[in-house]
């Protein structure tokens, strides 16, 4: 893990072990090749991605349901929301799953660490609760449609 850049992986692991999930819920960790998401297109109805985004204020949580305007602090120099928007254009909106990216804003990493900073750790805890509620809503069938057709960057906490 690369400090705050690993916040998505931290939240994913917490979600995976926190509770019993229905068999309809799958968790998958992407180690580097974002195009791996294309393998999931025909197998899922809704995709929730957890990621780190470079921006201020540190620890702010953003919900992105369209092309991203925040830089992803990664070696592949792309952000997952832009990739998903392009994959959706290739596959067509009727055959592409609904998707949303939940990002925690971090500072651009400058050193290797194994811990999350305080504001990012607090945001990770909050994001875990938000995404748990979102998934539970999908399981019950009463979650509002997250949509992916209208780009937004909304502060969520």
Distance CA 16, CA 89 (A): 30
pTM confidence score: 0.83
In a domain, 36, yes or no: no
In a domain, 109, yes or no: yes
Structural domain tally of the chain? Answer: 1
Q: Give me the percent of the chain exceeding a pLDDT of 90.
A: 43
pLDDT of residue 89: 92
Assign 138 a pLDDT band (cuts: 50, 70, 90).
confident
In a domain, 26, yes or no: no
Q: Is the predicted pLDDT of residue 150 greater than 50, yes or no? A: no
CATH number at residue 55: 3.40.50
In a domain, 32, yes or no: no
In a domain, 33, yes or no: no
Pairing of the two strands 61-64 and 98-106: antiparallel
Q: Give the residue with greater pLDDT, 113 vs 14.
A: 14
Q: Which domain holds residue 68?
A: 3-18+42-155
Mean pLDDT over 65-82 rounds to: 66
pLDDT of residue 153: 40
- Closest to 157 in 3D by CA, of 135, 130, 121: 130
Average pLDDT, the chain: 82
């Amino acid at each position: 893990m690369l400090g705050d850049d690993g916040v998505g992986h931290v939240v994913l692991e917490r979600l995976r072990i926190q509770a019993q999930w229905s068999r309809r819920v799958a968790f998958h960790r992407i180690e580097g090749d974002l195009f791996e998401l294309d393998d999931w297109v025909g197998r899922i109805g809704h995709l929730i991605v957890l990621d780190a985004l470079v921006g201020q204020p540190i620890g702010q949580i953003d919900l992105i349901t369209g092309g991203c305007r925040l830089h992803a602090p990664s070696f592949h120099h792309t952000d997952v929301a832009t990739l998903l928007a392009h994959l959706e254009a290739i596959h067509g909106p009727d055959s592409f799953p609904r998707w949303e990216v939940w990002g925690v804003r971090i500072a651009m990493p400058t050193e290797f660490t194994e811990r999350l900073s305080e504001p990012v750790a607090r945001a990770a805890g909050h994001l875990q609760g938000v995404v748990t509620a979102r998934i539970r809503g999908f399981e019950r069938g009463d979650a509002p449609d997250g949509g992916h057709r209208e780009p937004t960057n909304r502060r969520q906490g």
